[in-house]
């Protein structure tokens, strides 16, 4: 299993994270302003009730003339009206804040997905699947929880605090001063604990991502098979358990730190009223009505304070998630192609093209270098070479999947370095079939294809009989990554999909490698016949019996070492192609 440091070193919060969080709300500033007004109204209405209580005590109940029933009835009516208004305003503010929060989180998710789609393929080769899943689904969910409660909570906390403190100062400035004397201590503890919480949160998010990666990789069909074949089930379970325990420990520590803040706050809330009573006793001249109103207002003061503490701990806990999401949003995507080449017959060329995979050092040889080739329109070209010689890399360059890191790749006279759907298509050795029906998978290349089109393509790639024999025919499910089909069947379905794309250039990168040699020969011949008049490039190791190609390109160690007609290259007894054909066919 993976190695991990026993504990991730404390990292200070990334500078600018909070500024970026605030910026997320900028497009909704109008709604946020309305929210502020609603919350202010809500807080003012809430603060009015204790002031009514003061009138009840000092005038309506215990006034000089005894109980004043009409005044009591009036106050009861007013209190009922205020309660209704508070309910309505509360509903409005909940709707608005939920809307803003959901929009912000939806925007983050959509932007992150879009950014990832534009990342170079090398990013997906290096990044773990679980990591992407964890950031896109897990981190955004944590942000959603934080943002949903935070926006209204922080605003109502602040406004509620100001309104309640203002009302308390109006009643008695001295008692208000005493009530707030311990507040700085609580804020200090909150700020210290907040920093610890952010670190714990970042560590927690990383551990969650590690768990997701283990699940995605080791609980896949391939991962489970590998563990069973090599008898490593217990080690796999132990690796997962260790990460899970680590997450559990982090969860406990975060819970304790968060509770520390809340507990200090609690002591403050319990202690302060008694300090106020003592102060009232010492100063004298405070009416019972003022003291009752003051006591009610104190509760109203603590609630927002409590809310602010609670939110600050929650937000600090979400800091790690924000940083990981922003980390993906800062990734450098592939540049968009400057111009789309004008339509043409499909003549390809490489001009001194080379490619170096990201992460390979300057001292390593590039995967491909100095490749200059002309592949005329409507020609058929075979690309051969030893394992690791750069065939797939060349295929990817010709299909626009990688832009060359030196030189250029050209179609019909125009340089390109990005996929050209509809003009160039590639079928690979390990094709991707998604969960859905066989027909869905085929129509991915040609959404408007009729059933006859599907059947025709599948007949060419010799897979129609197999699909037709399934209980639901073309509507049968393909399974996870096409797992309900054999490797050779998957390849033939993917080849049919590539034919349906009807591109002027088709690159076959070992796309028939899982077929038996006889079927492979028939399928390749049928594809070439179907594509007569269009350009086809085939990369393969099993070329010994393939004799219908115009041209052969032989690669060795990232360079083109032979390029010519098949018969010419066969004539060069010491040439790479001739030697490889002899090795395959057993010819002397």
Site residues, ligand ATP (CB under 6 A)? 122, 125, 357, 360, 367, 385, 387-393
Strand order in the sheet with 424-427: 424-427, 505-509, 535-539, 380-384, 551-556, 559-565
Question: DSSP code of 57?
Answer: I
CB of residue 461 to ligand ATP, shortest distance in Å: 22
Token pair for 125: 């080769």
Among residues 450, 483, 488, which one has the least CA distance to residue 466? 488
Q: How far is the CB of 388 from ligand ATP (least distance, A)?
A: 4
Nearest approach, Cβ of 457 to ligand ATP (angstroms)? 26
Nearer to ligand ATP, 430 or 453 (CB): 430
- From the CB of 510, what's the least distance to ligand ATP, in Å? 7
Q: Which is closer to ligand ATP, CB of 64 or CB of 361? A: 361
CA dist., res. 50 & res. 172, Å (int): 14
Of the pair 300, 402, the CB lying nearest ligand ATP is at 402
Reduce the secondary structure of 328-376 to three states and give it as a string. HHCCCCCCCCCCCCCCCCCCEEEEEEEECCCCCCCCCCCCEEEEEEEEC
Q: Which is nearer to ligand ATP, 87 or 388 (CB)?
A: 388
Residue closer to ligand ATP, measured from CB, 175 or 409: 409
Which lies closer to ligand ATP via its Cβ, residue 100 or residue 368?
Answer: 368
> Which residue, 293 or 368, has its beta carbon nearer to ligand ATP?
368
Q: How far apart are CA 62 and CA 249, in angstroms?
A: 58
Closest approach of Cβ 538 to ligand ATP, in Å?
Answer: 13
Distance CA 503, CA 500 (A): 8
Please identify, using beta-carbon distances, which residue of 530 and 556 lies nearer to ligand ATP.
556
Q: How many contiguous H segments (helices) and E segments (strands) does the chain have?
A: 19, 10
Nearest to 382 by CA among 537, 555, 531: 537
- Among 172, 190, 164, 180, CA closest to 271: 180
The CA-based angle 548-551-555, given to 5 degrees, is 120
What phi and psi values does residue 324 have, to the nearest 5 degrees?
A: -70, -35
List Cβ neighbours of 30 (8 Å cut-off, separation of 6 or more). Answer: none
Q: Which residues pair with 416 in a beta bridge?
A: 409
Residue 172's region, left for phi above 0, alpha for psi from -120 to 50, else beta, is beta
Q: How far is the CB of 399 from ligand ATP (least distance, A)?
A: 13
**Considering beta carbons, is residue 390 or 482 the nearer one to ligand ATP?**
390
Partners of 371 in beta bridges: 353
Distance CA 347, CA 272 (A): 83
Beta carbon of residue 390, minimum distance to ligand ATP (angstroms, whole number): 4
CB of residue 582 to ligand ATP, shortest distance in Å: 19
For ligand ATP, the closer of residues 314 and 520 by Cβ is 520
The least distance separating ligand ATP from the CB of residue 513, rounded to whole angstroms, comes to 9
Give the residue with the Cβ less far from ligand ATP, 231 or 359.
359
The Cα 329–Cα 323 span in angstroms is 10
Which 3 state secondary structure label does DSSP give 2?
coil
Shortest reach from residue 142's CB to ligand ATP, in Å: 31
Give the long-range contacts of residues 474-479, CB within 8 A, separation 24 or more. Answer: 474/437, 474/438, 474/439, 474/442, 475/437, 475/438, 475/439, 476/437, 476/438, 477/435, 477/436, 477/437, 477/438, 478/433, 478/434, 478/435, 478/436, 478/437, 478/438, 478/440, 478/441, 479/433, 479/435
Cα–Cα distances in angstroms (integers) from residue 505 to residues 63, 147, 270, 529, in the given order:
96, 49, 77, 14
Instruction: Please answer whether residues 452 and 474 qualify as being in contact, where contact means their C-beta atoms are separated by less than 8 angstroms.
Output: no
Distances in Å between the alpha carbon of 332 and those of 115, 246, 327?
A: 8, 32, 10
Q: How many CB atoms lie within 10 A of CB 82?
A: 16
* CA 540 – CA 66 distance, rounded (Å): 104
Of 138 and 395, the one with the shorter C-beta distance to ligand ATP is 395
Find out whether 108 and 99 touch, Cβ atoms under 8 Å. Answer: no
Nearest distance, CB of residue 389 and ligand ATP, angstroms: 4
Smallest separation (angstroms) from ligand ATP to the CB of 511: 12
Q: How far is the CB of 339 from ligand ATP (least distance, A)?
A: 28
Task: Identify which of residues 43 and 389 has a Cβ nearer to ligand ATP in the complex.
Answer: 389
| Stretch (H or E) spanning 46 | helix 29-55
**Cβ 222 to ligand ATP shortest distance, Å:** 18
Q: How far is the CB of 498 from ligand ATP (least distance, A)?
A: 18
Nearer to ligand ATP, 195 or 542 (CB): 542
Nearer to ligand ATP, 92 or 487 (CB): 487
């Amino acid at each position: 299993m993976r190695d991990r440091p026993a504990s991730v070193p404390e990292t200070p919060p990334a500078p600018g994270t909070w500024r970026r969080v605030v910026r997320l709300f900028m497009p909704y500033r109008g709604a946020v302003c309305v929210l502020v007004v609603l919350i202010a109204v809500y807080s003012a209405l809430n603060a009015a009730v204790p002031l009514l209580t003061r009138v009840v005590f000092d005038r309506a109940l215990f006034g000089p003339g005894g109980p004043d029933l009409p005044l009591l009835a009036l106050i009861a009516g007013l209190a009922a009206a205020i309660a209704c208004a508070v309910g309505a305003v509360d509903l409005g503010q909940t709707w608005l804040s939920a809307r803003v929060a959901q929009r912000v989180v939806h925007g983050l998710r959509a932007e992150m997905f879009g950014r990832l789609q534009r990342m170079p393929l090398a990013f997906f080769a290096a990044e773990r699947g679980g990591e992407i899943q964890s950031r896109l689904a897990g981190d955004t969910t944590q942000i959603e929880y934080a943002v949903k409660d935070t926006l209204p909570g922080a605003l109502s906390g602040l406004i509620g605090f100001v309104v309640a403190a203002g009302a308390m100062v109006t009643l008695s400035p001295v008692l208000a001063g005493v009530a707030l004397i311990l507040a700085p201590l609580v804020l200090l503890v909150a700020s210290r604990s907040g920093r610890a919480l952010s670190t714990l949160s970042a560590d927690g998010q990383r551990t969650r991502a590690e768990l997701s990666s283990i699940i995605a990789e080791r609980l896949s069909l391939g991962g489970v098979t590998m563990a069973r074949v090599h008898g490593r089930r217990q080690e796999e379970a132990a690796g997962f358990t260790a990460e899970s325990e680590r997450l559990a420990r982090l969860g406990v520590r975060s819970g304790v730190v968060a509770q520390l803040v809340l507990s200090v706050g609690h002591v403050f809330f319990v202690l302060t009223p008694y300090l106020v009573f003592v102060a009232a006793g010492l100063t004298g001249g405070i009416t019972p009505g003022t003291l009752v109103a003051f006591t009610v207002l104190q509760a109203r003061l603590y609630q927002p304070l409590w809310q602010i503490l609670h939110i600050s701990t929650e937000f600090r806990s979400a800091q790690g998630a924000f940083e990981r999401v922003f980390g993906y949003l800062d990734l450098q995507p592939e540049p968009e192609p400057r111009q789309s080449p004008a339509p043409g017959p499909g003549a390809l060329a490489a001009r001194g093209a080379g490619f170096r995979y990201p992460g390979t050092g300057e001292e390593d040889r590039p995967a491909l270098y100095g490749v200059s080739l002309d592949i005329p329109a409507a020609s058929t070209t075979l690309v051969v070479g030893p394992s690791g010689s750069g065939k797939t890399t060349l295929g990817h360059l010709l299909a626009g999947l990688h832009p060359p890191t030196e030189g250029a790749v050209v179609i019909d006279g125009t340089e390109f370095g990005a996929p050209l759907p509809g003009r160039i298509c590639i079928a690979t050795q390990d094709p991707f079939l998604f969960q859905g029906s066989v027909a869905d998978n085929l129509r991915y290349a040609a959404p408007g294809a009729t059933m006859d089109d599907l059947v025709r393509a599948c007949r060419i790639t010799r897979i129609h009989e197999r699909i037709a024999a399934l209980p639901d025919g073309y509507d049968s499910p393909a399974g996870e990554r096409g797992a309900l089909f054999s490797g050779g069947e998957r390849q033939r379905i993917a080849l049919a999909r590539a034919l349906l794309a009807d591109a002027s250039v088709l690159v076959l990168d070992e796309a028939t490698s899982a077929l038996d040699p006889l079927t492979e020969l028939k399928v390749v011949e049928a594809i070439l016949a179907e594509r007569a008049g269009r350009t086809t490039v085939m990369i393969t190791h099993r070329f010994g019996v393939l004799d219908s190609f115009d041209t052969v390109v032989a690669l060795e160690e990232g360079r083109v070492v032979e390029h010519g007609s098949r018969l010419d290259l066969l004539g060069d007894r010491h040439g790479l192609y001739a030697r490889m054909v002899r090795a395959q066919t057993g010819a002397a």
